[in-house]
């Protein structure tokens, strides 16, 4: 079945450090891939997405490239800020299913120190 695996957290970085959160997936067909972010005490919100191979999603300085050959969708940011502290979820939506049921990774908690 379809699945998503993320690197375990928590990840602690200093402000302005480079961030990578690894995400790999297993899926049949051609899934859409997502990164969602959850700030403390809130629901999830979409950070970025990519719907086909080699697409790059980007938002708020974050980027992720849909790599079909390595079944990966790693999240990167060149210079993190304290305000980026949150839990990040990688997710996929199977193109074969109607309406986009999401399968989530377990989440990676990021803490950025000043």
Partner 1 sequence: DAEITQSPRHKITETGRQVTLACHQTWNHNNMFWYRQDLGHGLRLIHYSYGVQDTNKGEVSDGYSVSRSNTEDLPLTLESAASSQTSVYFCASSETAAQETQYFGPGTRLLVL
Positions that interact with partner 1 (CB under 8 A)? 31-32, 34, 36, 42-46, 49, 51, 89, 93-107
Nearer to partner 1, 13 or 107 (CB): 107
- The rounded distance, in Å, linking the Cα atoms of 91 and 103 is 5
- The rounded distance, in Å, linking the Cα atoms of 90 and 6 is 7
- The rounded distance, in Å, linking the Cα atoms of 82 and 93 is 30
* The two structure tokens encoding residue 85: 């502290």
> Cβ 79 to partner 1, closest distance in Å?
26
Nearer to partner 1, 19 or 35 (CB): 35
Nearer to partner 1, 32 or 112 (CB): 32
């Amino acid at each position: 079945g379809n699945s998503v695996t993320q690197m375990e957290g928590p990840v602690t970085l200093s402000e302005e450090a480079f961030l990578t959160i690894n995400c790999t997936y297993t899926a049949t067909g051609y899934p859409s891939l997502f990164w969602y972010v959850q700030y403390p005490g809130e629901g999830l919100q979409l950070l970025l997405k990519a719907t086909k191979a080699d697409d790059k999603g980007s938002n708020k300085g974050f980027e992720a490239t849909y790599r079909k050959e390595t079944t990966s969708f790693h999240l990167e940011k060149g210079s993190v800020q304290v305000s980026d502290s949150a839990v990040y979820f990688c997710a996929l939506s199977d193109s074969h299913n109607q309406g986009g049921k999401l399968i989530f990774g377990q989440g990676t908690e990021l803490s950025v120190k000043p």
